[in-house]
Every structure is written in structure tokens, then in C-alpha cells.
Amino acid sequence: MVDRLVARGAQGVILGCTEIELLLGPDDVDVPTFPTTALHVAAAVRSALDAGAGSVPHTIDR
């Protein structure tokens, strides 16, 4: 399925379900992957450790 989407112009793949992250990873495709579980965890940790106003970052540095 990813190959068909890439052939149609997809430039990345959102892994929007925890089970998908178990089946598909960055080594399986030739486009960037965005594992939402890891992104949400990173944002939550960053927010929890932030000494400021507790705002959630808009981007995640990996």
C-alpha cells in the first residue's frame, strides 16, 4: 500500500496507529515515517519537563 501511495506522490507515511508501528518502520519504506505514538510521547515528555508555561511544542526534533 505504501508503495502505491509513494507512486502517486506521497512524500512520507504517517504511522497513525500503534499496531502499524509494529508492522512498518523507516527501514521498510523509502520515504520518511512519522510514528505518532513516539511523537506524542516526545511532546508529552517535553511539555512535562518544560519549566515555562507548559505549552506543547509544535514540532518535534528527532
Task: Report the C-alpha dihedral over residues 37, 38, 41, 47, rounded to 10 degrees.
Answer: -130
DSSP calls for 18-59? HHHHHH--GGG-SS-EEEHHHHHHHHHHHHHH--SS-PPPSS
Taking only the tens place, the pLDDT of each residue in 9-56 is 999 999 998 888 889 888 999 999 999 999 999 998 888 888 555 555
What pLDDT score does 42 carry? 92
What residues does each domain of the chain span? 2-49
- Tell me what pLDDT residue 7 has: 94
Residue 35's pLDDT is what?
Answer: 92
Band of pLDDT at residue 1, cut at 50, 70 and 90: confident
**pLDDT attached to residue 15:** 92
